[in-house]
Amino acid sequence: MEQFSTEEQQAEALRKWLKENGPSILFGIGLGLAVMFGVNRWQAHKLSSAEEVSVQYAALQLSAQKGDTAAVLAQAERLQDDHPDSAYAVFAAFSAANIALEADQPDSTAAERELRWVSDHAQVESLQHIGRLRLARLLLSNGDADAAKALLNNQQAAAFKALYNEVQGDIALAGGDTGSARSHYSLALAENTNAPLLQMKLDNLGNPDSAVTAPAPNATVPETSPETPASTAAPQS
């Protein structure tokens, strides 16, 4: 009888505990199932999105192979709108910029737009720097040295220091500032010693000390010839 009473008390305690805690237990189970379902659904969506963006990028590459500039630009814009955080959108912008410049009628405005998008939106910092450097070169080639210079101001990164200095040297040289160009090229070479083209740019500027030289050889006073009296000879009285 005592055992029955004890079991009855245990059952009663269990019923009381379930009554008090049952709703929270059910809520916890439901929440766990919802989270698990949500994670699975998010992973499925992520996989589907990755497949979609890869298909879009493949279509863009096919258009590029055909030389269809308009299609490439349109597909790049779609990728940027639909998947702005994807690396595919960045690579699409690079491809669009290249084909816009290589077209029978080059479109530097479209190329500038694509490279500026990379510079502003790329999630990977190294891709941002590459886009910014290419954009600066494009602006410089279009004669807008001031815009190129402003774009690179205070934007140097350790891994891209040589490239930044080289482009800044090109900008300075375009503006006639050979001293600044020489300084930037020298800094770039200090970071990248194996750069023959960069070394050639620096060599073409000449020696900065060559401006301070001895008098030219023809500046010496010629000897007086027998036929011509010296200009300093006193006149005969």
Tokens for 232, please give them.
């300093």
Flag whether the pTM goes above 0.75: no
Confidence of residue 211 (pLDDT cuts 50, 70, 90): very low
What's the rounded Cα separation, in Å, for the pair 120 and 141?
21
Cβ partners under 8 Å of residue 128, min gap 6: 118, 119, 122
Domain that holds residue 47: 13-123
Q: Is residue 1 part of a domain?
A: no
**How many other C-beta atoms lie within 10 A of the C-beta of residue 17?**
11
Q: What is the spatial distance between Cα 117 and Cα 131, in angstroms, rounded to a whole number?
A: 8
Tens of pLDDT along 122-143?
A: 999 999 999 999 999 999 999 9
- Distances, alpha carbon 88 to alpha carbons 95, 103, 115, in Å: 10, 22, 14
Distance CA 17, CA 72 (A): 66
Residue type, 176: G
Decide if 117 is inside a domain.
yes
Is 50 exceeded by the pLDDT of residue 166? yes
**Rounded distance, CA 71 to CA 107, Å?**
14
Q: Report which DSSP code applies to 124.
A: S
Is 96 among the domain residues? Answer: yes
- Which pLDDT does position 157 carry in this prediction? 81
Q: Which residues contact 52 (CB under 8 A, 6 or more apart)?
A: 82
Q: Is residue 60 part of a domain?
A: yes
Q: Is residue 22 part of a domain?
A: yes
Domain membership flag for residue 132: no
Give the count of alpha carbons within 13 A of 134, CB side only: 22
Token pair belonging to 58: 């493949």
Total number of domains constituting the chain: 1
Give the three-class secondary structure for 122: coil
In a domain, residue 145? The reply is no
With contact defined as beta carbons under 8 Å apart, do 88 and 57 qualify? Answer: yes
- Domain assignment present for 219: no
pLDDT at 151: 93
Q: If pLDDT is split at 50, 70 and 90, which confidence band does 201 have?
A: very high
Amino acid letter, residue 55 = V
- Residue 218 scores a pLDDT above 50: no
Q: What is the CA radius of gyration of the chain?
A: 37
